[in-house]
Amino acid sequence: MRDVFNEQLVKKRPNAADTAAKAGLILGVAVILFAAVSVVRDFGIYIGAAAGIGAYFLIKRLNKEYEYIFTNGELDIDVIYSRSSRKRLFSGDVRNFEIMAHVSDAAHARELSQVKETKKYHSGITGESTYAFIATYKGKRMKVIIEPDEKMLEAIETAIPKRKFFKKGN
């Protein structure tokens, strides 16, 4: 048997909520700085600087990339913040997925919409390569939306049972 390893990075594109969060943080720092300097004068600069540093780190957390790692039937999904810190979001065997289909697949829309919890680990733009799967992770049944490239999709297709995988156009 041949070992299969594939990895892919997907950069999350900033959306309106990300832009609003950045603007809100910057405005919040300005308000805190003004209020702190007005109330406690000399010490207010330090309070404003601390708020600015906190806002800087929060803004950096908005810069995300998702990494999909497929190894011999196991799919791991990590988020990478500002190319420096990583967190595991999902790990599971694709053979245990209930279903995997394109997000706009009308034939499986009912199955994909029946799940209460949805996790979105893609660029933010739904397109030709946006797929959803239903799996249980840490005791919770969830729908996960990903954006695999053709090579990743082929690797998943070889491991997942045919009755559970529906490629776009099939």
pTM for the whole thing? 0.84
Same-domain pairing of 77 and 90: yes
Q: Is the pLDDT of residue 168 over 80?
A: no
Domain final position from 41, 61, 81: 61
Domain final position from 46, 61, 76: 61
Q: In DSSP terms, which residues pair with 135 in a beta bridge?
A: 142
Same-domain pairing of 94 and 142: yes
Instruction: Please state the domain count of the chain.
Output: 2
Same-domain pairing of 79 and 159: yes
Same-domain pairing of 98 and 149: yes
Same-domain pairing of 85 and 140: yes
pLDDT in tens, 116-154: 999 999 998 888 899 999 999 999 999 999 999 999 999
Same-domain pairing of 43 and 125: no
Chain-centroid distance, C-alpha 39: 41
Same-domain pairing of 69 and 50: no
Same-domain pairing of 46 and 122: no
Q: Is the pLDDT of residue 170 over 80?
A: no
Same-domain pairing of 75 and 134: yes
Residue 3: band (very low, low, confident or very high) from pLDDT cuts 50, 70, 90: confident
Residue type for position 60: K
Position of tokens 């003004």?
34
Same-domain pairing of 123 and 52: no
Listed in sequence order, the DSSP H helices in 11-125 are: 16-40, 44-61, 109-113
State the Cα–Cα distance between residues 85 and 156, nearest whole angstrom. Answer: 26
CB 48 within 8 A of CB 36: yes
Q: Is the pLDDT of residue 18 over 80?
A: yes
Same-domain pairing of 152 and 74: yes
Stated length of the chain: 170
Q: By three-state DSSP, how is residue 126 classified?
A: coil
Same-domain pairing of 77 and 149: yes
Range of the domain at 56: 16-61
Q: Which of 156, 32, 135, 122 is nearest to 92 (CA)?
A: 135
pLDDT in tens, 72-85: 999 999 999 998 89
